[in-house]
Structure 1
Amino acid sequence: MVQKIAIIKLSAMGDIIHSMVALEFIKKKYPNIEIDWFVESTFYVILENNPNINKIVKLNLKSIKKSKKEFFTQLNLVRSFKKENYDLIIDAQGLIKSSMVARILGKNIAGFCKNSTRESLASFFYSKKISIDYKENVIDRNCFLISKALNFDISKDDILNKKPFLFYKDEDKTIYEYLSKGKKNILLIVGASWKSKIYSKEKFARIVNSLDENFLIVWGNEEEKQIADFIRENSKVSVLPKLDLNSLKALVSKVDLVIGNDTGPTHMAWALNIPSITIFGNTPAYRNTYLTDINKIIKSSFSPNPLKLDKNNFSINEIDEKNIVKMAKELLCIE
């Protein structure tokens, strides 16, 4: 009987969100199971306050690149959890570094088989190897891996009928000053990890000017702040102060619609059952999100290969903003 498990999903924000959906269904099947989650410290807030997680273990494996001393610090930190005697360790990341963390924690490890992940050597460390095509939807992949590791099933209907699974506490109350009671609140996510995943700031401004609603923009770095300021200068939109991830979760949960690039904060909307439009160019729309009655996608004509993404492809900017406006009106039930 599996009583205590460790899930390893280190990064990034969207990938963690796409794995967290499985927690609800694990607990339905095994109500008394204990779940610890190992994550890069940058993203631990995404998991914070989730009632289905017993312990969040914050790692900083990225620091190893900057300091050899950090290698031993992180190694000793992971080793300290070996005493937890996990019945099962699930490596949901499928990378060599995550598989090594898993192996330090114990021997009963489940993970993707060598043909199901980008770093096939990772599967060498697993005692239970699970096969699913790398090109399949990432949410389906994560749910399949985790459920098969624990000998039960998660169906597409389960996922479509999920409960919201991001939680917040003691958020920055400033966010509520930006919300309107008389108009629909639309949150724009204007940044992304690659420049080629970022939709045109000029077209974002035209979307704002096409709808008489309350538009908000959040930002996470100086480049995103500059984009936000450009849109504010060319449309009627409010740019919020820089938010922590806890307050961002709270804000997303309160708006009527999120429009954004293929990036973590946009995927928060799906996790919170908030209407969303995710804009895709050089990343595969069919793979990186889950279509529902309220969570829609709009994509360029380019058909990306998930095994070899082209960071120099800027096809996202071919998308006509009028089509986004039309989709937004339909989701918001406005003329």
Structure 2
Amino acid sequence: MLENIKSIAIIKLSAMGDIIHAMVALQFIKSNYKNIKIDWFVESAFSEVLKNNPHIDNIYELNLKSIKKNKKEIFRQIQLARKYSKNRYDLVIDAQGLIKSAIVSKLIGRNVVGFSKLSIREKFASNFYTQKVAISYEKNAIDRNAKILSEPLNFTITKKDILNKEPFLYFENEDKKIYKFLSKNKKNVLLIIGASWPSKMYSNEKFAKITNSLDENYLIVWGSETEKQIAKSICENSSNAKILPKLDLNSLKALVSSVDLVIGNDTGPTHMAWALNIPSITLFGNTPGYRNTYKTNINRIIESNSKVNPYKLDKNDFSIKNIDENSIVKVAKEILYEEKNQRLL
């Protein structure tokens, strides 16, 4: 054990799914270092995902994305990051592996850990680190995060540990109207129809067919006007689906924790189900299923036939839309109705 490590800063700025993949390590850090102080630096848009977590002492928000709209904003963000160097962290861990996250890490502390040059896409970032962790970029993202956040602290998070994890998303004072949409007589299935790219989004026509194949209570969440229109399209072709009002991330966490199954694209809200030990089916087209989630009896993946290169994702690959909806229905039946699949492992 490294007794001199009393405080660490974790730099994981975005996006939601990536943040969730890293958060799993917190419970294991705390089990090895009960009194360690953990602060997390994140893009302001995603801070709600981290809130209420008992393993995080402070959440510090940055807004590096604002620089794209206003180049002068870079000076304010640098000044903000430098201010946090006064916290005098014993260790700063860049779990992102980007040049921007590496710069933020170096501004915040002197002793910075990050991925080795051959472990990240933006290889120049490794020049900012005083200690480097090696793990192939092609490896599972959850395993990568577990290693970068445990190796510098001289312990190991095993696959068995991750499979036996405690749920690690927390919420309080959620919008109580979400519970009015839940059925007591049918299984509640949450559909995550959005994603960061259109090519990561499953067919709305096929989503509708799924809702008509199993007579259960389907709830659709959305985060943009485009997604809302897709949700309306699904409901127009389904008698079992309902559109939810727009939810904040705190209420979304509460909703995910309350449903029987989440079916969705490879995106943050779908990964919430895995984090909360809720059954899920994640759909993959132009992103690698083997890399972006953990499979369990209740957390399944269905992939298109595309051969995906994790180093160079093809945003013009819409193969996710070719996934047969009947294969999704088949897996949904196994999860919802077969008792043997009610176990996590």
TM score, norm. by length of structure 1 = 0.99
Rounded Cα–Cα distance in structure 2 between residues aligned with 1:149 and 1:59: 24
Q: Which runs of 4+ in 1 moved over 3 A?
A: none
Rounded Cα–Cα distance in structure 2 between residues aligned with 1:324 and 1:95: 35
1:275 aligns with 2:287: no
Aligned residue among 49, 60, 63 for 1:46: 49
SS in 1 for 2:119: coil
Rounded Cα–Cα distance in structure 1 between residues aligned with 2:211 and 2:69: 42
Q: Which structure 2 residues correspond to residues 72-87 of structure 1 after superposition, within 5 A?
A: 72-87=75-90
Give the gaps of 5 or more residues in structure 1: none
Rounded Cα–Cα distance in structure 2 between residues aligned with 1:314 and 1:334: 32
1:36 aligns with 2:39: yes
Q: Which residue of 2 aligns with 1:325?
A: 329
Q: Which residue of 1 aligns with 2:302?
A: 298
Q: Residue 75 of structure 1: CA displacement? A: 1.4
1:289 aligns with 2:293: yes
1:258 aligns with 2:262: yes
Q: Residue 107 of structure 1: CA displacement? A: 1.3
Q: Which residue of 2 aligns with 1:224?
A: 227
Rounded Cα–Cα distance in structure 2 between residues aligned with 1:14 and 1:99: 20
Q: Which whole-Å deviations, capped at 9, do the CAs of 1:159-205 have from their partners, x for residues lacking one?
A: 00000000001111110000001110000000101111100000000
Rounded Cα–Cα distance in structure 1 between residues aligned with 2:338 and 2:311: 40
Q: Residue 119 of structure 1: CA displacement? A: 0.5
Q: Which structure 2 residues correspond to residues 160-179 of structure 1 after superposition, within 5 A?
A: 160-179=163-182
Whichever residue aligns with residue 135 of structure 1, its letter is E
CA change 1:320–1:68 in 2 (3 A) is: closer
Rounded Cα–Cα distance in structure 1 between residues aligned with 2:201 and 2:109: 41
Aligned residue among 306, 309, 314 for 1:310: 314
Whichever residue aligns with residue 336 of structure 2, its letter is L
CA RMSD of aligned residues (A): 1.0
Whichever residue aligns with residue 127 of structure 2, its letter is F
Q: Residue 334 of structure 1: CA displacement? A: 6.2
1:185 aligns with 2:188: yes
1:204 aligns with 2:196: no
Q: Which whole-Å deviations, capped at 9, do the CAs of 1:114-150 have from their partners, x for residues lacking one?
A: 1000100100010101100000000000001111111
Give the gaps of 5 or more residues in structure 2: 340-345
Q: Which whole-Å deviations, capped at 9, do the CAs of 1:21-77 have from their partners, x for residues lacking one?
A: 000000000000000000000000000000000000000011122223322221121
Rounded Cα–Cα distance in structure 2 between residues aligned with 1:205 and 1:66: 38
SS in 2 for 1:307: coil
SS in 1 for 2:166: coil
Aligned residues: 335
Aligned residue among 93, 103, 111 for 1:90: 93
Rounded Cα–Cα distance in structure 2 between residues aligned with 1:309 and 1:82: 35
Rounded Cα–Cα distance in structure 2 between residues aligned with 1:48 and 1:233: 36
1:239 aligns with 2:237: no
SS in 2 for 1:102: helix
1:215 aligns with 2:213: no
Rounded Cα–Cα distance in structure 2 between residues aligned with 1:308 and 1:67: 28
1:134 aligns with 2:120: no
Rounded Cα–Cα distance in structure 2 between residues aligned with 1:130 and 1:317: 37
Q: Which whole-Å deviations, capped at 9, do the CAs of 1:246-301 have from their partners, x for residues lacking one?
A: 00000000000000000000000000000000011111000001001110000111
SS in 2 for 1:153: coil
Whichever residue aligns with residue 72 of structure 2, its letter is K
Q: Residue 101 of structure 1: CA displacement? A: 0.6
Rounded Cα–Cα distance in structure 2 between residues aligned with 1:83 and 1:309: 39
Identity among equivalent pairs (%): 67
SS in 2 for 1:81: helix
